[in-house]
């Protein structure tokens, strides 16, 4: 427990992390076979934010498995985020912000469909908590 009254959530045991790592590797293989650029965002390889699909293992004991995000190229991401930071009218966002959101929405749908077709159990997690990520819970039985 820290001085602020918040505890650090416990990490999952090594065998659970190993199973999640294996699932993330299978997810990456399936997406690569489908022709998508993909990398592990949690591997420490310095590829965080690289365009394409990015798989992450949830390391927490109460974790939920593997999450896959879509990253746009830095040019689109930066343009949208800079406008967003300046303040936008959410009822009528600028075209680049709408485009950025549209890409994420469509790629989320594509990832869900591709991974389900490849035999994975997938779901859309809460957008408020997980953004446009796709949640992979395992392989279908």
Name the residue with higher pLDDT: 54 or 141. 54
115 phi, psi to nearest 5 deg: -70, -40
pLDDT in tens, 68-89: 999 999 999 888 888 878 887 7
Q: How high is the mean pLDDT of the chain?
A: 88
CA distance 90 to 94: 9
pLDDT in tens, 25-69: 999 999 999 999 999 988 655 555 789 999 999 988 887 889 999
Quick check: 119 and 6 in contact, CB under 8 A?
no
CB atoms within 10 A of CB 87: 7
Percent of the chain beyond pLDDT 70? 91
**Which distant-in-sequence residues (6+ apart) come within 8 Å of 29 by Cβ?**
none
- The predicted pLDDT at position 7 comes to 75
Vertex 84 angle, CA 79 and 88, to 5°: 125
CA distance 3 to 107: 41
């Amino acid at each position: 427990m820290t001085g602020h009254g918040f505890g650090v959530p416990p990490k999952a045991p090594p065998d659970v992390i190993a199973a999640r790592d294996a699932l993330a590797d299978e997810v990456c293989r399936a997406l690569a076979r489908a022709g998508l650029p993909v990398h592990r965002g949690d591997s420490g390889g310095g590829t965080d934010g690289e365009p394409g699909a990015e798989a992450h293992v949830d390391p927490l004991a109460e974790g939920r498995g593997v999450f896959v995000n879509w990253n746009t190229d830095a040019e689109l991401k930066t343009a949208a985020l800079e406008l967003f930071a300046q303040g936008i009218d959410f009822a009528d966002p600028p075209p680049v912000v709408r485009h950025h959101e549209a890409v994420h929405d469509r790629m989320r749908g594509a990832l869900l469909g591709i991974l389900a077709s490849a035999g994975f159990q997938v779901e859309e997690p809460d957008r408020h908590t997980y953004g446009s990520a796709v949640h992979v819970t395992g392989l279908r039985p």
